[in-house]
Amino acid sequence: MMKAAVLGSPIAHSLSPHLHRAAYEGLGLYDWQYEAFECDEAGLAGLVDGLGPEWAGLSLTMPLKRAVLPLLDTVSDLAVQVGGANTVIFSEGGRHGDNTDVHGIVQAIAEAGIAPPSSATILGGGATAASTLAALRELGLSEVNLVVRDQARAGETAEVAERLGTTLSLRTFDKLETVLDVDLLVSTLPAGAADGFAGLAAGVPALFDVVYAPWPTRLASAVSDGGGVVIGGFPMLLHQAVRQVEMMTGRTDVPVEAMRAAGKAEIVRRAAPGS
């Protein structure tokens, strides 16, 4: 029996078990298990130290992506640059960290048919914003606007930009209107947090909003109603999970569409009255 799990706090909302289990079923890996464990930063080291040889890997969500780095034997260059690992692979007696969020963002943008942008603005300055900076760099963008509530709290993201070689133009939300003349707007804000800016963004040609439920967000509706292309957070979540399954199982024939169907079905189930 091989095991994997997603760790985070809170974790009950995670779609990862539905995505990974669908992949295992499609791959015929009936002796694989994937669970979700509530785990905060204080409990992370103890949990990881207690895992046995049957463990293939871990998916990490907030607040563990940065906290896990000191516990790893090796960390990919990308995870070092971004300052966080959302994936741990156990192999050859070691713990190896990587970041598949960046891949998920790049794939989500490509899947939507959006051309690599020549300009972009990111709302929010957390771990997802850092991964977005790296994704935009992969798409050829070396200058990005970052909009945050408090510039003094954007230090870690600014450091990520420096490691990536990206020029960052910082703004606060009261100046948002000055950085909306871009090809792509990315909101890494939690559900509801961008509602007040929806009217300002109505003319943006393309939006990537990391929220996947409830969907559509007010921001997504405003951009869509204005004729813009909108990407929700689910494609990113899907494609980062696909890459994780590839890394944990060693398989390259991962059933993407089966994973997509399982994830969407769970989103619909949760949105149903009484769920």
For the annotated catalytic residues, the residue numbers are 65
User: Any alpha helices (H) in the chain, and if so which ranges?
Assistant: 16-27, 41-49, 77-82, 101-111, 127-138, 155-164, 218-225, 234-249, 256-271
Residues 6+ apart with CB under 8 A from 67: 41, 44
List Cα–Cα distances, 127 to 78, 84, 191, in angstroms.
Answer: 13, 7, 16
Q: Which of 145, 157, 149 is nearest to 121 (CA)?
A: 145
| Backbone φ, ψ for residue 82 (5° rounding) | -75, -25
What does the alpha-carbon distance between residue 187 and residue 268 come to, in Å, rounded to a whole number? Answer: 23
| Backbone φ, ψ for residue 7 (5° rounding) | -120, 145
Bridge partners of 144, per DSSP, are 168
In contact, 187 and 124? CB cutoff 8 Å: yes
